[in-house]
């Protein structure tokens, strides 16, 4: 008799689990919201030092408030019919969480050369990987 009662107890427990399992429905997880990186390229324009001097020039491109820098670069205008090299970037680096700086070597030409520095900016807190 004890075996019958024990078997009925196991069966009733299984029936309860079965009923609970069929009535409880799992809700799907909410879809993740897309994150907007808000990528923006900021430019700083300037000129080399006067040609023939030993003047180095640094230019800094700064991201708007609420954005951080993820990279940067530069352009030095190419001058036609010049045999001497252009001003070269001596260093190119993020000098703060929100700005990119490039330091150019002295200008070997007469006059000045247009220079441009870029900063690639994204929203602060944006996933980067």
CA distance 58 to 101: 7
Phi, psi (deg, nearest 5) at residue 76: -115, 125
Give the residue with greater pLDDT, 120 vs 5: 120
Total count of domains within the chain: 1
> In this structure, is residue 17 part of a structural domain?
no
Containing structural domain, residue 49: 40-123
> In this structure, is residue 29 part of a structural domain?
no
Minimal CA–CA distance to 102: which of 113, 120, 112, 88?
88
Residue 87 reports pLDDT greater than 80:
no
Residue 13 reports pLDDT greater than 50:
no
> In this structure, is residue 31 part of a structural domain?
no
Mean pLDDT across the chain? 75
> In this structure, is residue 28 part of a structural domain?
no
CA distance 103 to 101: 7
> In this structure, is residue 70 part of a structural domain?
yes
If you average pLDDT over residues 13-42, what whole number do you get? 62
> In this structure, is residue 79 part of a structural domain?
yes
> In this structure, is residue 18 part of a structural domain?
no
């Amino acid at each position: 008799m004890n075996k019958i009662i024990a078997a009925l107890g196991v069966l009733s427990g299984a029936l309860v689990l079965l009923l609970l399992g069929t009535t409880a429905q799992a809700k799907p997880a909410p879809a993740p919201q897309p994150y907007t990186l808000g990528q923006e390229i900021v430019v700083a324009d300037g000129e080399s030092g006067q040609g023939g001097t030993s003047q180095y020039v640094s230019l800094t491109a700064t991201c708007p408030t609420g954005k951080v820098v993820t990279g940067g670069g530069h352009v030095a205008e190419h001058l036609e019919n010049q045999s001497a090299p252009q001003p070269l970037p001596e260093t190119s680096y993020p000098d703060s969480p929100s700005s990119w700086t490039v330091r150019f070597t002295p200008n070997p030409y007469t006059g000045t050369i247009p220079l441009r520095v870029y900063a690639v900016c994204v929203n602060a807190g944006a996933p980067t990987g």
